[in-house]
Amino acid sequence: MAMKMDQWNTMGCPGLLACIIILSIKQCCMLSETRAPQSLEPNHQLDHGTLHHRYRRGWIWKQLFVPEEEPNTSVIGKLKSDYDKGDFSIKYILSGEGAGEKFEIDEFTGEIRTLQKLDREEKAFYVLQAQALARNSNEPIEPESEFIIKVQDINDNIPQFQNEPYISNIPEMCVIGTTVAQVTATDADDPLFGNNGKLIYSILHGEPYFSVEPKTGIIVTSMSNMDREAREKYLVVVQVKDMLGLSGGYSSSTTVTIHLTDVNDNGPTFQHSE
């Protein structure tokens, strides 16, 4: 038995060590095989044995605006791929709302121009798509991308009064500040762009009996002791102006008819017969 143990110690240990080394080498090989795909370039990925290019976003543009009523064929901006080296090897394609009818793109430079006048009140913005293709193969260089052309407002609409005619009745002898009526006007121009659609009301005729709140169009009395027996009806002319009343804006006017209603403010009198 002692002899067998000595044989194991002198012969078995090297054999066991050799087995461990072989197994370790085999595991390392298997691990390196499973990690092998990570050695591909960052711009590529392996999918079911097929090599795919991973597109990077390379579109370069600023937000595009065009003032309404601009003359035809005006350049409003430019689209560009950062793959474009200026050798005209890239072909630009435009599609979407108004493409070919209201807008066109220079297929060599990416310049976008209008083909006709635009009306913001008809349509405030257009959603279009752009493509960049390799001219020699028609293969996409960039993924199709969506962008917006906004139509900028100009002051080209006259404010209009709503719900005409305006007729109101108030009691005679009412106190100063009594609400008479409210006039309302609208403007089709953009109220969020400049002052084009911002309105101001004023009295053209009817002072000093009445006044109007400039922003709301509410008409109030500005004089007391208006006596029906002296005067029963007033015609007040209110003007509305856009651009907050600044020069160069548009205006319109409306007439408010105001009747004084009778209150019991006269005592009875006796007629003396002769």
According to the model, what pLDDT value does residue 274 have? 57
What is the Cα–Cα distance from 8 to 76, expressed in whole angstroms?
Answer: 90
According to the model, what pLDDT value does residue 58 have? 57
Tell me whether domains 59-152 and 160-261 share a fold: yes
The whole-chain average pLDDT of the chain stands at 80
What mean pLDDT comes out for the span 86-103? 95
CATH superfamily of 160-261: Cadherins (2.60.40.60)
Classify burial at 112, counting beta carbons within 10 Å of its beta carbon; exposed 0-12, middle 13-18, buried 19 or more: buried
What mean pLDDT comes out for the span 117-125? 94
Write the DSSP assignment of the chain as a string of letters: -HHHHHHIIIIIHHHHHHHHHHHHHHHHHHHHHHHGGGGS-TTEEEETTEEEE-----EE-PPEEEETTPPTT-EEEE-EETT--SSS-EEEEEEETTBTTTEEE-TTT-EEEESS---TTT-SEEEEEEEEEETTT--EEEEEEEEEEEEEP-S----EE-SPPEEEEEETTPPTT-EEEE--EE-SS-TTSTTTT--EEEEEE-TTTEEE-TTT-EEEE--S---TTT--EEEEEEEEESGGG-TT--EEEEEEEEEEEP-S-----PPPP-
The 10s digit of each residue's pLDDT in 144-160 is 888 999 999 999 999 99
Statement: residue 3 has pLDDT above 90: no
Statement: residue 30 has pLDDT above 60: no
What mean pLDDT comes out for the span 26-30? 41
Least confident of 5-9, 195-199, 225-229: 5-9
Measure the N-to-C terminal CA separation of the chain; round to a whole number of Å. 169
Contacts of 174 (CB under 8 A, 6+ apart): 221, 224, 226
Least confident of 71-80, 237-246, 265-274: 265-274
Residue range 59-152, CATH number = 2.60.40.60
Statement: residue 221 has pLDDT above 60: yes
Please count the other Cβ atoms lying within 10 Å of the Cβ belonging to residue 122: 8
According to the model, what pLDDT value does residue 39 have? 27
Domain coordinates in residue numbering, the chain: 59-152, 160-261
Statement: residue 215 has pLDDT above 80: yes
Statement: residue 60 has pLDDT above 90: no
